[in-house]
Chain A
């Protein structure tokens, strides 16, 4: 038998050995998920079904601020199991080997996603991404100060100097210009890009500011009527229609600013948010369940009713009865979708050129 002092000295080594053996055990997936998200999406409302199904799983979030930022973080080695980005950037993650194919046979809500949306998450016939949130981009305008807007060129109208707000995004600026001038957005030439750059440099003084957060520095100023014409998503339109909220959480549409959401002759733009599972994840099954349950009625519905964004679950969208949301999503007007332009994929060269162009516009 060991002397007592020897047993005391041996105890830490014994515990460490046992800990090492336990730590090296392979088997069950870790009971935690890390999601690379956009600010606001970490709210439990948007994954409440997963929270109910897996209450003991810790879901943690890290945040990106732009599609480029999220790609950069994933490329640099983010440990996120799941990442969220928007249409146009699908190819980059596949090319870099950052994303794992989604086994849709394990998704209980997959059949509720329209085929067209499912296709947005496919690269070379493989389902890499799960669509979740979606929406329109158009011109949100104050009808008390601005007559009916029929074109994207309202953003360039000097009559509204100091009351225009463009989104702080280079690819978006190229998209708007391509709509106005009927350029092929997928094949912008160097001459066209130079022209676009000058056009936005000339437009710069017309803005009250560029906005980068819809609910922080766009919607409040639409509500206060400092902004009359804005590049905006339908979420801000719905917010404006609902009107200001009082301390008790009641809406006051009677105090709402007079706004409208344009149907430009060039067509609205539409975007879809996509989720991917990291190729390096140790929690594939959990990640799959997380994404599946984001498509469930409650989680998906919360995106619609709390954030005023569309959700990929078609049953949820079909059940919308709120007249404000029907108006914001254009649910009763099929002509809107027919003329809508969907964001095409961006190439690496385009991404670099368009974002560099925008930095020159802002620095000018």
Chain B
């Protein structure tokens, strides 16, 4: 019979198998394909020899690397904005909602049920020349005509992405705040610390791990974002993810698309690793 540990390992097998089959294996496949020399559709029956030609082509096309840099900067901006906007939501849920916390948590989670595509399409209506925002700006006299930059721009992409990510970002921050021992707050209050001081010196440091988790949870997928830029980005909101998509679908150049994907993966992981080394969360929390 399986012991307790054996039983746990056995129960963990299906999710590991799922992860292995649908995450690790495709990732390995992408990396392997990136070393194929073809510039067009791949016939997996064809013999081939590993080559760095796809990476060489990326290196010889500076505009691709520049786009990766721009996408990373956009992702940093979106992650920072989403984290900052999500923080007060998480704070309210953890410290103010009390018995209604579950109700407000459900409200926060409702957007998850809506189609991602529908939410982005709604932003096209909001940001369009005759959309809600432009109509309000003209009605209030703040502008004399519609602002073109609201839709089909880099700004539109970032606005839509921040909107989509805020509910996601609030969850890890909320989880971190829930783990804060209320005794710290009470002790600080007993020692004369005011609300603002308690917030800066207890709540923020102890919730930082959650905030950092939220930041990276938003940053990492945003680097490779391509749906939102294609819907609201116009010609200026093109991101690195769109480049990868183009090579797979418009150019049928899976090898080049795979190389671009592998490069993005390595760069993103490197950035996260460096950031985690630089930002000592435990020191900040202390």
Contacts and interface: CB of A to CB of B under 8 A. Distances in A.
B43 A355 contact: no
B229 to A, nearest CB: 10
Interface in B13-49: 39-44
A68 B44 contact: no
Size category, B interface: 35 or more
A355 B41 contact: no
B250 A358 contact: yes
B235 interface: yes
A204 B234 CA distance: 10
Nearest to A220: B124
B130 A69 contact: no
A170 B250 contact: yes
A157 interface: no
A165 to B, nearest CB: 10
A68 B252 contact: yes
A208 B234 contact: yes
Interface string A250-291: 000000000000000000000000000000000000000000
Interface string A132-172: 00000000000000000000000000000010000011100
Given A162-B148, A363-B63, A72 B252 contact: yes
A335 interface: no
Contacts of B66: 363
B131 to A, nearest CB: 11
A225 B241 CA distance: 30
A222 B190 CA distance: 67
Contacts of A248: none
B42 A75 contact: yes
A334 to B, nearest CB: 35
A185 to B, nearest CB: 19
Contacts of B249: 64-66, 68-69, 72
B250 A363 contact: no
B178 interface: no
Mostly, the B contact residues are loop
Contacts of B67: 363
Interface string B212-254: 0000000000000000001101111010001100111111111
Contacts of A362: 235, 238, 242-243, 246
A210 B41 contact: no
Contact of A76 (B42, B129, B130, B236): B42
A202 interface: no
Interface in A346-364: 348, 351-352, 355-356, 358-360, 362-364
B145 to A, nearest CB: 12
B144 interface: no
B61 interface: yes
B152 interface: yes
Nearest to A75: B41
A363 B238 contact: yes
A355 B250 contact: yes
B250 A71 contact: no
Nearest to A162: B148
Contacts of A169: 250
B252 A71 contact: yes
A306 interface: no
Given A69-B252, A76-B42, A363-B67, A212 B230 contact: yes
B55 interface: no
Contacts of A168: 250
Interface string A179-209: 0000000000000000000000000110111
Contacts of A170: 250-251
Interface in A55-102: 64-66, 68-69, 71-72, 74-77, 92, 96
A84 to B, nearest CB: 15
Nearest to B240: A363
Nearest to A168: B250
A77 B44 contact: yes
Contacts of A352: 39-40, 251, 253
B253 A363 contact: no
B236 to A, nearest CB: 8
Nearest to B70: A363
Residue among B41, B64, B234, B256 with max Cβ neighbours from chain A (10 Å): B41
B40 A69 contact: no
Contacts of A204: 235
Nearest to B61: A360
Contacts of B231: 217
A22 to B, nearest CB: 30
A315 interface: no
Interface of B: 39-44, 61, 63-64, 66-67, 128-130, 148, 152, 230-231, 233-236, 238, 242-243, 246-254, 256
10 shortest interchain CB distances as A-B pairs: A75-B41, A68-B252, A72-B252, A355-B251, A209-B234, A69-B249, A72-B41, A352-B39, A363-B67, A363-B63
9 contacts: A66-B250, A212-B230, A217-B231, A352-B39, A352-B253, A355-B246, A356-B253, A358-B250, A364-B63
Given A205-B235, A212-B230, A360-B63, 11 more contacts: A75-B43, A207-B234, A208-B234, A210-B234, A351-B40, A351-B252, A358-B250, A363-B64, A363-B66, A363-B238, A364-B63
Interface of A: 64-66, 68-69, 71-72, 74-77, 92, 96, 162, 168-170, 204-205, 207-210, 212, 217, 224, 226, 348, 351-352, 355-356, 358-360, 362-364
